Amino acid sequence: MVEVTVTPQSSLADRPVQIRVQGLSPSQLVTLRAWLKDEHGECFQSRAFFRADGAGEVDPRCHAALGGSYSGIWPMGLFWFLQPDTLFRRLVKRDVAGSPFRVRLEVFDGLCLGTDPKEQPLGSCEAERWYVGPGVQRVPIREGRVRGALFLPP
């Protein structure tokens, strides 16, 4: 059984996470895809092609992506290279304190270029990426023409 894990599963958006795929066949070629929907329902995704090691595992920290949205060793590449499905859209988090981005990670057999709904992933998991830590207080600033927000730690 193929298992995809993200450690930690819930983290701040600027913190690194460890992505790992286990249970593959040795030297199996797979596509690892990350995707999310923003607050307006726009889809952003990235993908990378990997060859499993002798133990049937893929770890982007030490295995180079063979192609896709990026190539080479980029431990956080699936998060950094998220691209919009619709041109000229930007990934912006508006409600930074109320909810996280939920990033879905899926692994597919072979090279998977499309998003055909008939293709079932071998395994998947979800990661939460928060923009404000627990207990942080947001204070709106409105002074003259100055507008902003002050974030105070607990």
Cα of 67 vs its chain's centroid, Å:
17
Say if residue 139 is exposed, middle or buried (CB neighbours under 10 Å; 0-12, 13-18, 19+). exposed
- In the predicted structure, residue 117 carries a pLDDT above the cut 70: no
From 33, 35, 23, 31, select the one nearest 50 (Cα to Cα).
31
Q: Could you read off the pLDDT of 72-94 as tens digits, one per residue?
A: 999 999 999 999 999 999 999 98
Q: Which residues pair with 33 in a beta bridge?
A: 47, 106
**Cα separations (Å) of 65 from 5, 30, 32, 145, 146?**
17, 10, 9, 48, 45
Task: Report how far residue 17's alpha carbon sits from residue 29's, in angstroms, rounded to the nearest whole number.
Answer: 23
pLDDT at 118 over 90: no
Give the residue-averaged pLDDT of 118-128.
92
Task: CATH number of the domain at 39, please.
Answer: 2.60.40.2240
The three-state secondary structure class of 84 is: strand
pTM: 0.88
> How many structural domains is the chain composed of?
1
For residue 114, give its domain range: 3-152
Question: How much is the average pLDDT of 2-7?
Answer: 97
pLDDT at 115: 65
Q: How far apart are CA 116 and CA 130, in angstroms?
A: 29
**C-alpha Rg value of the chain to the nearest Å:** 18
Interval 6-54: pLDDT, tens: 999 999 999 999 999 999 999 999 999 999 999 999 999 999 999 999 9
The mean pLDDT of 114-129, rounded to a whole number, is 86
